Amino acid sequence: MTPSTSTFSARLDEAARLVEASLEALLADNLRHGEIARPARLMEAMRHAALGGGKRLRPFLTIEAARLFGVEGQGPLRAGSAVELLHCYSLVHDDLPSMDDDDLRRGRPTVHRAYDEATAILVGDALQTLAFEVLADPETDPDPAVRSDLVLGLARASGLGGMVGGQLLDLSAEGRYGAVTMSEAAVRQLQMMKTGAILTFAVEAGAILGKADAGARRSLMEYGRALGAAFQVADDILDREATPEALGKRTGKDQEKGKATLVDLLGLDGAKRESRQLVEKADAALEGFGDRAQTLREAVRFVVEREV
Amino acid sequence: MTPSTSTFSARLDEAARLVEASLEALLADNLRHGEIARPARLMEAMRHAALGGGKRLRPFLTIEAARLFGVEGQGPLRAGSAVELLHCYSLVHDDLPSMDDDDLRRGRPTVHRAYDEATAILVGDALQTLAFEVLADPETDPDPAVRSDLVLGLARASGLGGMVGGQLLDLSAEGRYGAVTMSEAAVRQLQMMKTGAILTFAVEAGAILGKADAGARRSLMEYGRALGAAFQVADDILDREATPEALGKRTGKDQEKGKATLVDLLGLDGAKRESRQLVEKADAALEGFGDRAQTLREAVRFVVEREV
């Protein structure tokens, strides 16, 4: 297997371009069904939060997973954009003063710095709502069973038992709700909830759109879980090794806050070894898809080797 | 038409009891599909936000609207509970220090006072997610077209062009983003977005569950809009006339913040006259439903005459 890196980055770039255009249209100034106004300040701040940045990895995964089943075009693009909107909402709320208190995101001021705290809270709220609106809209898929499956999957990945629950555990890990010692198992659980669940759903969404059978859907979710874990290990390594300039956000945050990461628990070499094992696990999950899954194989390598 | 007040309050109380039990089950300690944990602090704070209070007017409207089409039981109860979860999320975020900065809600400490600000933000986030999860779950309705219609309706009523957009306009009306003079039309638009849209959807949800034809659905939405407007006029009157002890929250807030209400624009007598006109409008919208809609007729009177 020779990774065709140039084809891969061309696909990733092309997906990012399409996602940007799709988000641009969703956050445009035109009134939608039943709306009597779109308050300008809120819309501008939502655009600040969602446009002009990011690798758009999550929608890319949805698009590539759906392609395995021959499904392309508006459906995967809109479903992937919904996952990205959900991701952007989580960043806006995580950056708030009472949470991680960050001033920079993707090299630009965070929403509460560019606007104000109240606006930032409402931006996150409205981006979350929009994510579900996009998934439930017939334009995403003519089959209502597909749409309600997408909504259910995103909700389960992002609520109390998923991303938001993970964020609460992350705040607890700083010791703000009493002293804690995080075991390796607890760190893994936190990471699976906080970032892994949405990445896994991004892949699963492609399977839902492709009306995959139970076995194929399960394999893709296994792939998604391995990719999600690999993403987080890479994040922990970057937080230790990269510069703020390269990342466009603060680094060394976890150490500063006394939060245990996998790098603390496994050492830098151990974390890198785990990365390699997760790539193998992702490959194994994709076995049944043959050559068609080449881009997804390269995606997990990209996640591990990325420098931003 | 003799209003049978005692039957009405018995129905309202019975619905509130059922909704409480339904919310209690949704926020219980048992793991759901795909969850690996439900962080205790977050779950407790969500229970603080959603349980043990409120008239549960929104789910009552869903239950009674669905009953017009012979649909009863778990479906309307779950859909109504979802609308209530959405409503509770909006209260938690509106009460935050950077928004309305309130310490009391339903006579108890607000979530950020009982817990902390970060937890309150996450509670709102997770309650919103749970609302969509409940609607998309097959337990709410076996027909996926009904489920995705419910999701789409709630999302449209609560996002940028609905409730959250209305909250941003409400903050703007305080002058915090520059001086503003609110016309009567602007106040009405703000209120329609901030509180009217969700109340209207609560009624529409019953029509969706009942697979109402287009005409019946339109009539019920007209009823919902009149009820929503009546609710807001009554709120403005109560904010001027009631005591904090009776309401379980601060009063006179709008005056304090220099926000124009319908009472300012129409005078107290004018506002009360408008209330009566809205009751007539609601009655007119229900004409086609005959005696079956008696409870909904009483609901709009209850909304206008309530003292809390």
Give A91-112 pLDDT, tens digit per residue: 999 999 999 999 999 889 999 9
Q: How far apart are CA B65 and CA B5, in angstroms?
A: 18
Whether residues A41 and B189 touch (CB distance < 8 A) is answered with no
Give the one of B121, B148, B192 whose C-beta lies nearest to A121's C-beta.
B121
Yes or no, beta carbons of B125 and A124 under 8 Å apart? yes
Contact A42 B144 (CB under 8 A): no
Nearest CA of chain B to the CA of A181: how many Å?
16
B41/A189 CB distance under 8 A: no
In the stretch 34-53 of chain A, residues with CB closer than 8 A to chain B read: 34-39, 41-43, 46
Question: Which residues of B are less than 8 Å from A38 in CB distance?
Answer: 160-161, 165
Closest residue in A to B37 (Cα) is A161
Interchain contact, A121 vs B125, CB within 8 Å? no
Number of domains, chain B: 1
CATH assignment at residue A242: 1.10.600.10
Residue A291 Cα, gap to closest chain B Cα (Å): 30
Q: How many CB pairs under 8 A join A and B?
A: 200
Residues B9-40 pLDDT 10s: 999 999 999 999 999 999 998 898 888 899 99
How far off is chain A from B191, nearest CA to CA, in Å? 11
Record: contact A133-B155, CB cut-off 8 A: yes
**Per-residue exposure over B125-147, b if at least 16 CB sit within 10 Å of its own CB, e if not:** bbbbbbbbbbbbbeebbebbbbb
Of the listed ranges A127-141, A242-256, B58-72, B100-114, the least confidently predicted one is A242-256
Longest dimension (CA), chain A: 57
* Residue written as token pair 């009552």: B60
Query: Which tokens belong to A152?
Result: 């259910």
| pLDDT score, position A1 | 44
Cβ–Cβ below 8 Å for B126 and A36: no
Rounded Cα distance, A219 and A65, in Å:
11
pLDDT at A164: 97
For residue B297, the enclosing domain spans 5-305
DSSP secondary structure, A74-96, as one string:
HHHHHHHHHHHHHHHHHHHHHTS
> Per-residue pLDDT averaged across A15-39, rounded?
93
Interface contact flag, A160 B46, Cβ < 8 Å: yes
Concatenated DSSP letters of A174-200: TTBTB-----HHHHHHHHIIIIIHHHH
CB within 8 Å: A36 and B119 = no
Segment A193-213, tens digit of pLDDT: 999 999 999 999 999 999 999
pLDDT tens digits for B170-205?
Answer: 999 999 999 888 899 999 999 999 999 999 999 999
Q: Which two three-digit tokens encode residue B226?
A: 């009149």
Distance to chain A for B94, nearest Cα, Å? 9
Q: Is A290 on the interface with B (CB under 8 A)?
A: no
pLDDT per residue over B209-262, tens digit each? 999 999 999 999 999 999 999 999 998 898 888 777 776 767 677 777 778 888
Contact state of B41 with A177 under an 8 Å Cβ cutoff: yes
Position A6 scores a pLDDT of 79
SS3 A109: strand
Contact A125 B129 (CB under 8 A): no
CA–CA distance, A254 with A241 (Å, rounded to integer): 12
Instruction: Determine the average pLDDT of the residues in A216-231.
Output: 97
pLDDT for residue B308 is more than 70: no
Q: Å from B160 to nearest chain A CA?
A: 6
Residues in A 58-97 with any Cβ partner in B closer than 8 A? 89, 93, 96
- Percent share of chain A, pLDDT over 90: 81
A165 closest CB neighbour out of B39, B143, B189: B39
Q: Search chain A and give the residue with CA nearest B38.
A: A161
Residue at token pair 């590539």: A64
pLDDT in tens, A255-278: 777 788 889 899 999 999 999 999
| B contact residues 100-119, partner A, Cβ 8 Å cutoff | 116-119
Contacts of A89 in chain B (CB under 8 A): 125
Q: How confident is the model at residue A2 (pLDDT cuts 50, 70, 90)?
A: very low
Q: How far is A218 from chain B (nearest CA, A)?
A: 12
Which residues in chain B touch residue A35, judged by CB atoms under 8 angstroms apart? 156, 160-162
Q: Of B125, B161, B164, which is closest to A122 when you measure between CB atoms?
A: B164
Each residue of B46-87: pLDDT tens digit?
Answer: 999 999 878 999 999 999 999 999 999 999 999 999 999 999
How far, in Å, CA of B91 to CA of B113, rounded?
A: 13
